[in-house]
């Protein structure tokens, strides 16, 4: 059947009785495709039946289906004409790993971060009302996404407006007890049916003439539903709550969704699914099988047994445990990224000092501020792209009060297959403009460990930003020492009148460039404060300064160098290399660096072109723009 479906329109031609067999085909296809090519695994195995039911009942793309936590949308891509391209997912020039508006009309809203779907779908529902158009807006939100405040802000607004919005809560952590599953199914069918809705509205009209009777009826209804359904909170927010129902019973979901499609106003359907459904190893360990590289389905993910150099994330995790053993004031905070940010070992060794605040980045920073006020030393482990969500708290609650919070910023710079929604290209730009901040970027793994130690000793907000994956293979040493504040390190003395100023992880590229031109190579280490004395020395000794960073070239570390040189009226040419002023699409990180011109051969070519033109004292803004 799957081969006959090129769009949801084809899907809707099938009899409902055929849908379970189709779901089996889709799951088999996912198992084969993702195990062969890699991608998000557990979450997509869990949403097969839910996705089929949604596209079967609703008239997509006219009806707007908005996904949250977008890595669960592979079946959605399969059904909307992209089945034959699924093997390219997350690869250069292939399908994006998340819904993307430019990719398909069925992708109504781009998503990478969590907890945005209710707000977006509400906006679409309000647009339909404003334009007097007849279409449905449906948000599909993962249970973890409901731990973020933004989701509740949207629910509160939607309930207050009585918007025509359906929110599907994909609950993939709970299971329906066999004892009550049939009861929940019966109640959901009853409560979503026309008879109940008619009686409900009719009863309101009959009782509206008597305030006491109306109040009594409402209280009775709420108490009865509260005894058997977990939806009282959503009812209080103005939603009609239905469920929970079995998210792997596609025919049952079609029946319920058909009923709900006839009801207007804010509705919430609670669907229970299982991550990794249909593949036992992923069912048992959905976290391990969340995002996978190609693997053998028969044997599962098997460790190679080979020892390898640690990733930056592992370096941070080990430092955190070592530092916690040295200082009992240390507490670790993460917004629902324990595994991704390397806090597993710390959470096990120091459970009373480990705080997972759920998907609530704003809260993570302010609770850290409160802890710092009372003498603790909070370490916030957070992705660069997620820190953006808490920018106000960073300034208002931490920096203004000059509180000693350490930010371990993972996934800084280009992140590869996850693409622009997850790239941490802007943290140097948005951090260096904040007073009281200290900002560091290590050139290798051991320097990352030393910088984290240095940050912990400072009595001010401090950030250490490091990339995804491994660096140059410099093993971190056990001994830790404070790096002098704002002091750069000359790695290579050159004799050509050129200096390469490195900010961060592009050490191998910088070394190759420096060797090619016999240039001085400086590991700047600090973005804020800059080493002004060394910059002045380099400007006086050199004809050309080249800045290199894995950050947006606009407003980044190179811009900080430009600002200092201009303020000091130092007469030297500068070329700024960084990530250009556009979004870099998903690909391998090496491919992204090549696209951005941050690989060594391209850097060398650009510098040679500049030298061939005989540039001297070129306005720095012009050079920076052309270099990017």
Q: Which residues are catalytic?
A: 275, 361, 389
Sign of CA dihedral 25, 9, 79, 48: negative
Instruction: Give the count of alpha carbons within 13 A of 170, CB side only.
Output: 31
Q: Is 279 annotated as a binding residue?
A: yes
Contact yes or no for 252/242 (Cβ under 8 A):
no
- Three-class secondary structure of residue 553 per DSSP: coil
Q: Is 143 annotated as a binding residue?
A: yes
State the virtual CA torsion across 367, 372, 373, 376 in degrees, nearest 10: 120
- What DSSP character marks residue 79? I
> From residue 316, how far is each of 269, 312, 332 by CA, in Å?
40, 6, 11
Q: How many CB atoms lie within 10 A of CB 421?
A: 18
The greatest distance separating any two alpha carbons of the chain, rounded to the nearest whole angstrom, comes to 93
Contact yes or no for 599/509 (Cβ under 8 A):
yes
Cα angle at 517 between 515 and 521, to 5 degrees? Answer: 60
In what side-by-side order are the strands of the sheet with 64-67? Answer: 64-67, 137-142, 165-171, 267-272, 240-246
Q: Is 40 annotated as a binding residue?
A: no
Helix then strand then coil, in percent of the chain rounded to 5, is 45, 15, 35
Q: Phi-psi bin for 383: left (phi > 0), alpha (psi -120 to 50), beta?
A: beta
Q: For residue 143, give every residue at least 6 positions away whose Cβ sits within 8 Å of its Cβ, in sequence order, or none.
A: 169, 170, 171, 172, 173, 174
Sign of CA dihedral 16, 21, 25, 31: positive
Q: Which helix (H) or strand (E) holds 39?
A: strand 39-40
Rounded CA gap, 489 and 450, in Å?
14
Rounded CA gap, 149 and 359, in Å?
8
Q: Is 114 annotated as a binding residue?
A: yes
Q: Is 145 annotated as a binding residue?
A: yes
Q: Is 240 annotated as a binding residue?
A: no
Q: Is 38 annotated as a binding residue?
A: no
Contact yes or no for 96/419 (Cβ under 8 A):
yes
Rounded CA gap, 553 and 548, in Å?
9
Contact yes or no for 289/60 (Cβ under 8 A):
no
Number of H helices and E strands in the chain, helices first, is 26, 19
Q: Is 162 annotated as a binding residue?
A: no
Q: How many CB atoms lie within 10 A of CB 382?
A: 27
Annotated binding-site residue numbers for thiamine diphosphate: 71, 112-114, 144-145, 172, 279, 361
Annotated binding-site residue numbers: 71, 112-114, 143-145, 172, 279, 361
Annotated binding-site residue numbers for Mg(2+): 143, 172
């Amino acid at each position: 059947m799957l081969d006959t479906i090129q769009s949801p329109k084809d899907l809707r031609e099938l009899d409902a009785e055929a849908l379970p067999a189709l779901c089996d085909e889709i799951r088999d296809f996912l198992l084969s495709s993702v195990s062969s090519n890699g991608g998000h695994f557990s979450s997509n195995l869990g949403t097969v039946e839910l996705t089929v039911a949604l596209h079967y009942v609703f008239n997509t793309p006219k009806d707007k289906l908005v996904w949250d936590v977008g890595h669960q949308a592979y079946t959605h891509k399969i059904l909307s004409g992209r089945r034959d391209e699924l093997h390219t997912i997350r690869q250069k020039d292939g399908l994006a790993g998340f819904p993307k508006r430019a990719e398909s009309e069925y992708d109504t809203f781009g998503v990478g971060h969590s907890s945005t779907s209710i707000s977006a779908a509400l906006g679409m529902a309000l647009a339909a009302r404003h334009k007097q158009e007849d279409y449905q807006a449906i948000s599909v939100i993962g249970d973890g996404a409901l731990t973020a405040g933004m989701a509740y802000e949207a629910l509160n607004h939607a309930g207050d407006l009585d918007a025509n919005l359906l929110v599907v809560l994909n609950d993939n952590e709970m299971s329906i007890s066999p004892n009550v599953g049939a009861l929940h199914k019966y109640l959901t069918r009853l409560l979503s049916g026309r008879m109940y809705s008619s009686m409900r509205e009719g009863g309101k009209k009959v009782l509206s003439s008597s305030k006491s009777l109306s109040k009594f009826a409402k209280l009775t209804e709420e108490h009865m539903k509260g005894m058997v359904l977990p939806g009282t909170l959503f009812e209080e927010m103005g939603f009609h709550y239905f469920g929970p129902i079995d998210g792997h019973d596609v025919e049952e979901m079609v029946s319920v969704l058909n009923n709900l499609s006839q009801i207007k106003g804010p509705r919430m359907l609670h669907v229970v699914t299982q991550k990794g459904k249909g593949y036992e190893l992923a069912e048992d360990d959905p976290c391990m099988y969340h995002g996978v590289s190609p693997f053998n389905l028969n044997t599962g993910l098997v460790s190679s047994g080979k020892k390898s150099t640690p990733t930056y994330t592992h370096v941070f995790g080990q430092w955190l445990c070592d530092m916690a053993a040295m200082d009992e004031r240390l507490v670790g905070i993460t917004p629902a990224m324990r595994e991704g940010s390397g806090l597993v070992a710390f959470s096990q060794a120091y459970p009373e000092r480990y705080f997972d605040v759920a998907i609530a980045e704003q809260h993570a920073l302010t609770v850290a501020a409160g802890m710092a006020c009372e003498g603790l030393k909070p370490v916030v482990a957070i992705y660069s792209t997620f820190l953006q969500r808490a920018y106000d708290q960073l300034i208002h609650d931490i920096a203004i009060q000059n509180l000693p919070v350490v930010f371990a910023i993972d996934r800084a710079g280009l992140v590869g297959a996850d693409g622009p929604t997850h790239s941490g290209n802007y943290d140097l730009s948005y951090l260096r403009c904040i007073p009281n901040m200290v900002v560091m970027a290590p050139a290798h793994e051991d320097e990352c460990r030393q910088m984290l130690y240095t940050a912990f000793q400072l009595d001010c907000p401090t950030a250490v930003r490091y990339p995804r994956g491994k660096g140059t293979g410099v093993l971190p040493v056990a001994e830790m020492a404070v790096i002098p504040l704002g002091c750069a390190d000359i790695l290579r003395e050159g004799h050509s009148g050129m200096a390469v100023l490195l900010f961060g992880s592009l050490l191998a590229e910088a070394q190759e460039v420096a060797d090619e031109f016999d240039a001085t190579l400086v590991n700047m280490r600090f973005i804020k404060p800059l080493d002004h004395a060394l910059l002045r020395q380099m400007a006086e000794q050199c004809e050309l300064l080249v800045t290199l960073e894995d950050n947006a070239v606009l407003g980044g570390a190179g811009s900080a160098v430009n600002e200092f040189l201009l303020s000091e009226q130092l007469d030297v040419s500068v070329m700024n290399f960084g990530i250009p002023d556009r979004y870099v699409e998903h690909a391998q990180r090496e491919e992204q660096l090549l696209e951005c011109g941050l690989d060594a051969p391209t850097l060398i070519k650009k510098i040679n072109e500049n030298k061939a033109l005989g540039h001297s004292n070129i306005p720095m803004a012009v050079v920076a723009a052309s270099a990017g």
